[in-house]
A = this chain, B = another copy of it.
């Protein structure tokens, strides 16, 4: 969608191509060098920042829709997007008001019963990437993008601050039963590197010694007979993921003992 004519068609006839009442809102977390950020877009005509969301085509599988929307809005593709929650408790009034503002800003002639002005539930997805490795490109509806530190998320459109908070909570809980890091760390990494990754995502300190022992006991990482010189007297040992155990833990979850 690149011209005003196409936007007009979307506003007036989009409900024939897309399911009304349901949107998809991806929360893309980016980790790099001790920072955890989220990707936000500046939507044209709207005040403030928002998630790269969109609608599901009438015959499109849900997970495929999530990936298509993200790609259209940001050019990011092949991410492992994970569904985490449907938001539908209170947002509809806010959505309606903002949609009306949108209509005024774009100066489109839209009826009150237009499909974009109706109550819309939002299905939240999230992904975790190394943001230094991705290139973002916005589409017609959005004029800018920015990676925001999760500790400094600005006021977002609709109920999207709640969506972001819930995504972060889910990611933090999940770290206890799913491995992470494979695409976020170098192939061979030091214990401080993986320790910092976990601390940054969890937003709290972890005992370094117990942390490493646990990951090794779980069979997720293994110590190599190699070191990396990072200073005159500092050559920490390197570690790597145990690919097979890592993949298995992704499938069935990390088994904590009870």
Residues of A at the B interface (CB closer than 8 Å) are: 19-22, 56, 58-59, 61-64, 83, 85-90, 92, 119, 121, 123, 173, 176-177, 198, 206-207, 210-211, 214-215, 253, 256-258
Contact = CB atoms under 8 A, between A and B. Distances in A.
The 6 closest A-B pairs by CB, nearest first: A62-B88, A61-B89, A211-B258, A19-B21, A214-B258, A62-B89
A177 B121 CA distance: 28
Contacts of A258: 176, 198, 206-207, 210-211, 214-215
Given A176-B258, A210-B257, A253-B173, A63 B83 contact: no
A194 to B, nearest CB: 11
A154 to B, nearest CB: 26
9 contacts: A20-B21, A22-B121, A58-B119, A62-B121, A173-B177, A173-B253, A176-B177, A177-B177, A211-B258
Contacts of A20: 20-21
B253 A256 contact: no
A93 to B, nearest CB: 9
Contact of A86 (B62, B198, B253, B256): B62
B177 A123 contact: no
A44 to B, nearest CB: 27
Given A207-B257, A211-B258, 6 more contacts: A20-B21, A61-B88, A61-B89, A62-B88, A176-B253, A177-B177
Contacts of A63: 89
A169 to B, nearest CB: 9
A253 B19 CA distance: 36
Nearest to A198: B258
